[in-house]
Amino acid sequence: VFPRNLKWSHYNLTYRIENYTPDMTHAEVDRAIKKAFRVWSEVTPLNFTRLRSGTADIMISFGTREHGDFYPFDGPEGLLAHAFPPGKRIGGDTHFDDDETFTSGSNGYNLFIVAAHEFGHALGLDHSRDPGSLMYPVYSYLEPSKFLLPDDDVQGIQSLYGPGYRDPNPKHPRTPEKCDPELSIDAVTELRGEKLIFKDRFFWRQHPQMTDVELVLIKNFWPELPNKIDAAYEYPEKDLIFIFRGRKFWALNGYTILPDYPKRIQELGFPKSLKTIDAAVSNRVTGKTLFFTGDKYWSFDEEKQMVDKGYPRLIMDDFPGIGEKVDAAYQRNGYIYFFNGSLQFEYSAWSNKIMRVLRANSILWC
């Protein structure tokens, strides 16, 4: 929240759309603005009524460069919009930089996402340092139809106005805490010497020279990837990483998703009945990639690009002690690290036995 906990003293607030961007139809703008206010009315006692004339609490306009408030915009890109904290006159007013391209989709800047953020300011929220929150300063596209207000933002706005009476989605997404002792992870892969540890819609980037890990939204790196993934592995010989979600998988060369992807995992030779891959790890020595699903695993020959004969095999037959399922796996210096719930098992490929059992979050230097 802002210094002095600036907030509206009345809960029935008014807004007025003073002008429109040429990028979208009036109806699209009206819809995006209305939906953006609903993000906040669903979790507070606040109500928003639209005025078509006169002065409203929250005056909404599109402008460029110097637009009358001594806080000029900066042309295309950079600053997208701003809003003023609750208060009289300019208080609550929200301005969009019309040198940007606003849309209802994922191209340009999604007006609903930008407006929902700016109305957070207009209601009294300052920026959040939580990269998963709506009030994080940097724009990231989220599918409006699947948007759920993150818990960090709910905590902030309810500290000002209290809870609402009709929250249709009380389960608000939380940003994973890296040192949560119960942390489990979705997938791990190396990428050009870095390690990427995936959890929900995030991944932690771990660079050997960095003193701490960096939490990043998957969609900030790869907008086309889904918000959550099942498995990932690196095939360094081709400078590629493969990302799996459901029956689909993508090949990535750095930031770039290769054309013709996503493909279906059945193209690798898996049976039609296979719905997901839980974990994948590539062994540079043998040139084999192991795919784990349920209580079984497969060996895949990267050179021949086919599943090896005699698979699937039971995980517990060949990797005794790591449990019946695998959430994620990666290999380093002859060891394979298997993740199962909040534990990870350091498995020696040479002596075929578990060397250590660690907490899953120890991969994040916790």
Q: Could you give the residue numbers annotated as active site?
A: 118
Mode of pairing for the β-strands spanning 47-50 and 12-17: parallel
Following CA atoms 265, 267, 273, 279 in sequence, which dihedral angle do they give, to the nearest 10 degrees?
A: -30
Q: Is 179 in the site for another protein (CB under 8 A)?
A: no
State which residue, 127 or 263, has the beta carbon closest to another protein: 127
Q: Which one of 66, 214, 224, 317 is in contact with another protein (CB under 8 A)?
A: 214
Site string for another protein, 90-129 (x = CB under 8 A): -------x--x--------x----x--xx--x----xx-x
Q: Which one of 50, 82, 174, 288 is in contact with another protein (CB under 8 A)?
A: 82
Q: Which one of 13, 56, 81, 160 is in contact with another protein (CB under 8 A)?
A: 81
**Binding residue count for another protein, defined by CB under 8 A:** 32
Q: Helix, strand or coil for residue 307?
A: strand
* DSSP string computed for 146-158: G----HHHHHHHH
Q: Which one of 13, 36, 60, 80 is in contact with another protein (CB under 8 A)?
A: 80
Output the smallest distance, CB 218 to another protein, in A: 16
Contact 114, 130 (CB under 8 A): no
The three-point CA angle 357-363-364 to 5° equals 140
According to DSSP, the residues that pair with 300 across neighbouring strands are 289, 307
> Sign (positive/negative) of CA torsion 298, 334, 183, 256?
negative
Q: Is 60 in the site for another protein (CB under 8 A)?
A: no
* Helix (H) or strand (E) segment spanning residue 95: strand 94-97
Q: Is 212 in the site for another protein (CB under 8 A)?
A: yes
Residues of this chain that interact with another protein (CB under 8 A) are 2-3, 71, 73-74, 77-85, 97, 100, 109, 114, 117-118, 121, 126-127, 129, 137-139, 210-212, 214-215
